Structure 1
Amino acid sequence: MSKRESSKYKIDRRLGENIWGRPKSPVNRRQYGPGQHGQRRKSKLSDFGTQLRAKQKLKGYYGDVSEKQFRRTYEEAARRRGDTSENLIGLLESRLDAIVYRAKFVPTVFAARQFINHGHVNVNGVRTNIGSYRCKAGDVIEVRQKSKQLTIVMDSVQLAERDVPDYIEADHNKMVATYNRIPGLGDVPYPVQMEPNLVVEFYSR
């Protein structure tokens, strides 16, 4: 899938949480970190450590985006009017790979990035192959005609482990989704608690 496909579940184990809520996560069986020192007793985190962990969890959830890209997203959220933490979530959820994942066209956000990179997705009728492309409210995201019968797509829409959130309207017969509105933190169906306020504190130190 993406460059992190082979080790994506190490993110789960490192954080000690099943951040995507997937049944195959090793955290469901081993709630300790990877590697030979993974079972050491965890020490109490400092304020900095807590903020860093919140940032790593949120960054990892969206496909472990690069630090440079994630910081740019934060800086844009800080420039916008309103609550920075809510703005940050809205910007992250507006990513094309996040919307393709939310619409259940693919099983994971890592698969969404590869799916887009390989040219399987149109936005408003135009082929778009950049996972970080930022969609606007009202944009129509569609799986290209020749890609609608791919096994990964057919299997994903049948997944019962998650639902399509109400800010995305998805038609799985036509493989079309409409990004109705930019969500707030309370609208996003995270399987674990996300704390964007701590991410804001981390970057504003």
Structure 2
Amino acid sequence: MHHKNILLMSRTSRHHERMRELSHALDVSIALATPDTFSQAIVSGHDFDLVILDSAGMDEETLNAVDSYVANNSYIPVLVIQDEDKLQSLRMPVQGHNDFILATAGEAEFEARCSLLLWPGEESAPADIVTVDNMTINLATYQVYIDGAPVDLTLMEYSLLSFLATHPSRAYSRETLLHRVWGFEYCGGTRTVDVHIRRVRSKVGPQVAAHIVTVRGVGYLFKL
């Protein structure tokens, strides 16, 4: 599985929080558009892998514009969000691999339907994704995201952060971290751990940094 980009097309902000949660659960970035900003969004330089269309209040002109966009881009998959009382007027793209979901559907179903459209046959295994507050770690792709934006970590910074985050609520000495993260052959001093912890904290921001706790006289602990 690799990182994907999603465009949410909606007249309102009613699904914005849902999209934020989706960006934490899956390895995706989210762009938001309304009928007034759709034309700017599709020329923004992003290559979108999925269009999520909230059909509520959409006029025919806007729906046709979305149809044209997906058709001109190798039939990008479309997930239509439909209100249950409007099911009789459900309008789906004729071509391409598409799906629909009720606006009242739960987060698990929403995530599953997006995954099936984004990664058909290779959906991200839940064990590959670690989510803590506004941070998502994708263990399969060695990537970290804060609020959906990628964080530029070195391999060792990533390895240290991912080790601590996947082994929470337990204090590890600097010597243990050197062995577990850097490997038994590493000959540097324990100060290397402190330097990397400081860099990781600065890159992930204060909300996630607060989880990386210094245990005096021992080392570090990732607190949930």
Query: What TM-score range do you get, normalising by the shorter chain?
Result: 0.3 to 0.5
Structure that is richer in strand per residue: 2
- The structure, 1 or 2, with the larger RCO (C-alpha pairs under 8 Å, 6+ apart) is 1
Whichever of the two has the greater Rg, that structure is 2
Structure that is richer in helix per residue: 1
Which TM-score applies when normalising by structure 1?
A: 0.34
